[in-house]
């Protein structure tokens, strides 16, 4: 039978999807990229915020149309199923099987029961994982769940408390990825900086990064979702001193108003955030800083927002994403007073993003004339450019480098020096260094 997959939401979800693909391959199913050719369609859902939930429902309904043709079974797994299984069963009878996150330890027993095949109680294994992010880059998940309990966030409710993976198991998977030709590892968790605290009584991200740097074949390492209160002097030092670690800090601060941060149950305040940013930039001048913000959180006043706006204007983050606050079932913020009107939230979002667009353009233009080591990943659709990334760009989140006047396929998967000669919106235009 042919199986097709759709993975919604974050990169952590994608890793699960890759493991599920591996599970089907282990049982000799054919993996297909076109849903029209699939006998089984598996959708890994996201249930983080309202837009993600709507996307999951729309995708399920879209895929259900293929049951009029070849598709025999539609399977939904993941966060939204974990959160709303009973409601989804009633609303989406087109789905033949729902699998919650807490049932992943018996995922194949449920699937084989659906397919009326021999029941075997197999779970997901990283050893079987099928990388879907190309030949050069892979995500490396180091923990599940979250124990930060931000008042707006349903992740602890969906995925449970923070659980770190064993140190040696992570290294073993990283070595395995290197043997497959992976050159870049992107370390992910809901909060990478808390890695190890539950298993070892202390955080071990710095130590883990240093050990990953020793793996032959791995040339770039970066970590995402680094909470500001847990970025230590030791971690900054490790990033600074190891050439393999990209000088890239993804720090989700969410806001800069102390009152808003307190209501969010965030552990940082404005002063500590500003000190951290100055410290990173002083010690690693070439560091790229990325952040995410929430506007329109309950009780956010005009003054709170203006403080945030001025902070973004003055700090000039290299990369910035913003969300309008989404009221999520079962979270403390859902019942908070002084909910911000949707039109106000949208206006604040637009104002912040318009400001960041100007900042991004300025930051990109400052790269013109400079030369950067670039990982070549593919050709452009029109065949006129090679496309690559520098240390400044996370795949599917940030921009790319378009390299002119060459279509040499032999360079794909290799690192080359590229001189930046122009910019285009969020991307760079370059040429090989002469």
**DSSP string spanning 61-81?**
HHHHGGGGTT--EEEEEEHHH
Q: What angle do CA 60, 112, 141 make, to 5 degrees?
A: 65
Helix, strand, or coil here: 82?
helix
Who's near 398: CB < 8 A, 6+ residues apart?
290, 319, 389, 392, 426
In the numeric block, which tokens belong to residue 153?
A: 């966030």
Q: Which pLDDT belongs to residue 434?
A: 67
Produce one character per residue of 288-315: b if its CB has 16 or more CB atoms within 10 Å, e if not.
bbbbbbbbbbbbbeeebbebbbebbeeb
The residue behind tokens 């955030």 is 273
Q: Which pLDDT belongs to residue 188?
A: 98
Kindly list the distances between the CA atom of residue 146 and the CA atoms of 143, 161, 201, 203, 403, in Å, as whole numbers in the listed order: 9, 5, 16, 14, 40
Long-range CB contacts (within 8 A, 24+) of 402-409: 402/427, 402/428, 402/429, 402/430, 403/374, 403/376, 403/430, 403/431, 403/432, 404/429, 404/430, 404/431, 405/431, 406/432, 407/379, 407/383, 409/379
Indicate the DSSP class of residue 245: B
CB atoms within 10 A of CB 181: 12
CA dist., res. 250 & res. 319, Å (int): 9
Order of strands, sheet of 184-188, starting from the edge strand that comes earlier in the sequence: 137-141, 184-188, 220-223
CB 184 within 8 A of CB 394: no
The residue behind tokens 């670039």 is 374
Burial of 127 per CB tally in 10 Å (0-12, 13-18, 19+)? exposed
Q: Which pLDDT belongs to residue 380?
A: 86
Indicate the DSSP class of residue 126: G
* Residues counted in the chain: 434
CA dist., res. 201 & res. 376, Å (int): 40
pTM of the model: 0.96
Helix, strand, or coil here: 39?
coil
Structural domains in the chain, CATH included, are 2-126 (3.40.50.12160), 131-365 (3.80.30.20), 371-432 (2.40.50.140)
Cα-trace Rg, the chain? 22
Kindly list the distances between the CA atom of residue 107 and the CA atoms of 130, 326, 360, in Å, as whole numbers in the listed order: 17, 31, 44
Question: Could you give phi then psi for residue 51, rounded to 5 degrees?
Answer: -65, -35
Question: Could you give phi then psi for residue 426, rounded to 5 degrees?
Answer: -105, 10
Kindly list the distances between the CA atom of residue 101 and the CA atoms of 66, 75, 84, 421, in Å, as whole numbers in the listed order: 25, 13, 12, 47
pLDDT (tens, 9 = 90+) of the chain, 434 residues, equals 999 999 999 999 999 999 999 999 999 999 999 999 999 999 999 988 888 899 999 999 999 999 999 999 999 999 999 999 999 999 999 999 999 999 999 999 999 999 998 777 788 999 999 999 999 999 999 999 999 999 999 999 999 999 999 999 999 999 999 999 999 999 999 999 999 999 999 999 999 999 999 999 999 999 999 999 999 999 999 999 999 999 999 999 999 999 999 999 999 999 999 999 999 999 999 999 999 999 999 999 999 999 999 999 999 999 999 999 999 999 999 999 999 999 999 999 999 999 999 999 999 999 999 999 999 999 888 888 999 999 999 999 999 999 986 667 788 899 999 999 999 888 999 998 76
């Amino acid at each position: 039978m042919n199986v097709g997959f759709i993975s919604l939401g974050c990169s952590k979800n994608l890793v699960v999807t890759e493991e599920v693909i591996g599970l089907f391959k282990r049982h000799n199913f054919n993996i297909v990229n076109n849903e029209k050719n699939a006998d089984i369609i598996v959708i890994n859902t996201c249930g983080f915020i309202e837009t993600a939930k709507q996307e999951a429902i729309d995708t399920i309904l879209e895929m259900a149309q293929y049951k009029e043709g070849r598709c025999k079974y539609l399977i939904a797994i993941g966060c939204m199923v974990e959160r709303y299984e009973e409601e989804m069963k009633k609303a989406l009878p087109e789905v033949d099987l729902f699998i919650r996150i807490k049932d992943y330890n018996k995922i194949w027993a449920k699937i084989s029961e659906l397919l009326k095949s021999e029941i075997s109680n197999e779970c997901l294994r990283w050893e079987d994982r099928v990388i879907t992010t190309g030949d050069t880059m892979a995500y490396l998940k180091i923990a599940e769940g979250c124990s930060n309990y931000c008042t707006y966030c349903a992740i602890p409710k969906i995925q449970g408390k923070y659980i770190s993976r064993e140190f040696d198991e992570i290294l073993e998977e990283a070595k395995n990825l290197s043997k497959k030709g992976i050159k870049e590892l992107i370390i992910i968790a809901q909060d990478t900086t808390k890695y190890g605290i539950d298993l070892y009584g202390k955080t071990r991200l710095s130590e883990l990064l240093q050990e990953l740097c020793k793996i032959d074949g791995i040339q770039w390492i970066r970590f995402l979702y680094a909470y500001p209160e847990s970025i230590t002097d030791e971690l900054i030092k490790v990033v600074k001193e190891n050439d393999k670690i990209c000088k890239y800090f993804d720090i989700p601060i969410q806001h800069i108003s102390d009152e808003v941060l307190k209501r969010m149950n965030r552990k940082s305040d404005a002063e500590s955030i500003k000190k951290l940013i100055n410290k990173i930039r002083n010690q690693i001048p070439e560091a790229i800083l990325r952040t995410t913000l929430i506007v329109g959180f309950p009780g956010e006043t005009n003054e709170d927002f203006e403080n945030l706006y001025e902070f973004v204007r003055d700090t000039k983050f290299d990369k910035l994403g913003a969300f309008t606050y989404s009221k999520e079932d079962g979270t403390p913020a859902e019942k908070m007073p002084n909910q911000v009107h949707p039109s106000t939230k949208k206006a604040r979002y637009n104002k912040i993003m318009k400001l960041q667009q100007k900042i991004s353009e300025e930051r990109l233009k400052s790269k013109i004339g400079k030369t950067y080591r670039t990982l070549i990943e593919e050709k452009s659709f029109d065949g006129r450019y090679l496309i690559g990334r520098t240390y400044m760009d996370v795949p599917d989140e940030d921009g790319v480098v378009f390299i002119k006047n060459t279509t040499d396929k032999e360079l794909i998967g290799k690192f080359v020096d590229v001189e930046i000669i122009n910019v285009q919106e969020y991307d760079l235009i370059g040429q090989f260094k002469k």
